[in-house]
Structure 1
Amino acid sequence: MSFVAKVETRAYSRATEVSDRVVAAILNLYPEKFRELVELKSTKVEGQSGDDLLIVGSKLKDKVGCETTLDYIFGKLEEKDRRRLSNSFIRRIDRNCIFFVRIDKQAAFLDEIVLEKGPDVIIVKIHIRQYPKCKQDDVMTMLEDRLRVAGGDD
């Protein structure tokens, strides 16, 4: 049986952005009752053009929180994004059974979850575990089932 072991996110806060809003956008991807368990980390870096950037990351390792977060993200997606996601599962799951999703950062700040429409994104990595060894086909089946339930197609 597959389960979600960890949820990680990363987003960039440019010098023109308010970093607290980027943090808020990231936290909006997690169900409210698990947000206090989310570990946040910010790192200052220099961009290619010499501008200041802040990389804001988050991590949640609580098993129930991680499982709930996956369902929360799927449940807040609009039907067209659920279809788009379902049609691209094979490209979004790597050989280590990490499921990658890019969420629109501005929409997340407004407490909406929308698949990316441009470069201003929050990268979400959902680490899936399965014993004895994780199999991509099994993970894809699990994700499809949960996406279907989130869409009310139970």
Structure 2
Amino acid sequence: MASVPFHYIDLRTFCYATEDEKRVEQALRRFLPEDFHIERATNEGHHGDRIVVLSARVEKADNVRYVLQQLSDLPDIERIIGELDERVDENCSFFLRLDKQRAFKGDVEQGQGITLRAKVEAYPAKQPAAVENAREALEQAREHAEA
């Protein structure tokens, strides 16, 4: 596979007091290479409840490719590729929300619970160039998955 036009991919989820932290971590790991380091920060919610923020930043090209391969399993990947104009902002960041419950079960779907933010490489750093680079990367990942 060619070079990956992403500086990094950030994945983040919250583990609320009512959730099992190991299960939430397992859901996040659905998108990460094996044994990848996950940052953990504990915060307090509005009502004094504990909220654990689990996050990972993927920077190495092989690891970024791995995350993109996981996204190629999205049943609506074509629609996401078609929506890149709305999903890539002026700062060249691509946004996607993934379903935490489905990820825990091993599936990949859009939904709530896991936020993905990917910084797209673009020269010049303009939104149209970033959209094109993100489109190319997602299409390559999809084609690679189909092969």
- Between the aligned residues of both structures, percent identity stands at 23
| 1:147 maps to which of 138, 142, 146 | 138
Distance 2:108 2:82 in 1: 18
**Over aligned residue pairs, what C-alpha RMSD do you find?**
2.2
Q: In the alignment, what sits opposite 2:120?
A: 128
Segments of 5+ residues of structure 1 without an aligned counterpart are none
Is residue 103 from structure 1 mapped to residue 88 from structure 2 by the alignment?
Answer: no
Alpha-carbon offset, residue 143 of structure 1: 2.5
| 2:63 maps to which of 58, 65, 86 | 65
Distance 2:70 2:119 in 1: 14
| 1:76 maps to which of 73, 82, 102 | 73
Alpha-carbon offset, residue 123 of structure 1: 0.3
Alpha-carbon offset, residue 103 of structure 1: 0.2
Alpha-carbon offset, residue 49 of structure 1: 2.5
Q: In the alignment, what sits opposite 2:26?
A: 24
**Amino acid aligned to 1:56:** L
Distance 1:39 1:127 in 2: 19
Q: In the alignment, what sits opposite 2:80?
A: 85
| 1:113 maps to which of 90, 108, 112 | 108
Number of residues of Structure 1 aligned to a counterpart in Structure 2: 143
Give yes or no for contact 1:10–1:55 (8 Å, CA) kept in 2. yes
Give yes or no for contact 2:98–2:114 (8 Å, CA) kept in 1. yes
Distance 1:43 1:113 in 2: 25
Segments of 5+ residues of structure 2 without an aligned counterpart are none
Q: How does 1:29-68 map to 2 (within 5 A)?
A: 29-30=31-32, 34-36=33-35, 38-68=36-66
